[in-house]
Amino acid sequence: MQEPVKRAIKVNIILVAVAALAFAAMRKFSFSAGLLVGAGWSTANFLFTISLLEIALLRKPKGKLLLLLLIKFPVLYLLGFLILFFKVFPALSLLLGLSSILLVLGVFTIWPKLNKCNTNCPT
């Protein structure tokens, strides 16, 4: 896995943990738990997808392919369905948790490009 992806996952875990603690401090425990569950599910899904893409595109050894496919599709998606079906957590908290990894990855990929100079920059 590439270093920017590892760094983005670490930052995402820290940001979600801080936000969950802030909501828990405001006594919104269900919202806090939903944020953690959504972020955890999304991060796990992202990591499984990255692993599958590395095997497929980078021609890495296919030893773990069947295991990854069996965990990602039936288990992880069934778990996601059950999380949504039982409506234990507020939908907004799940949505924020699910989108947190995408937000952090977007910032990590766009931010370095903003600091680079165009061809007409003074030297």
* Model pLDDT, residue 90: 97
Which among 26, 47, 22 is positioned nearest to 36, based on CA atoms? Answer: 22
Asked if pLDDT for residue 115 goes beyond 70, the answer is no
Residue 62's pLDDT is what?
A: 85
Summarised one tens digit per residue, pLDDT across range 48-71 is 999 999 998 988 888 889 999 999
Residue corresponding to tokens 């997808």: 49
- In this prediction, residue 45 has a pLDDT band, given cuts at 50, 70 and 90, of very high
Q: Would you say 111 and 100 are in contact if contact means Cβ atoms under 8 Å apart?
A: no
Tell me if 24 sits within 8 A of 81, measured CB to CB. Answer: no
Mean pLDDT score of the chain, rounded to an integer? 91
Nearest CA-CA partner of 73 in 81, 61, 85, 63: 81
Residue 39: its pLDDT value, please?
98
Given pLDDT bands bounded at 50, 70 and 90, which one contains residue 118? low
Question: Six-digit token pair at 31?
Answer: 């919202």
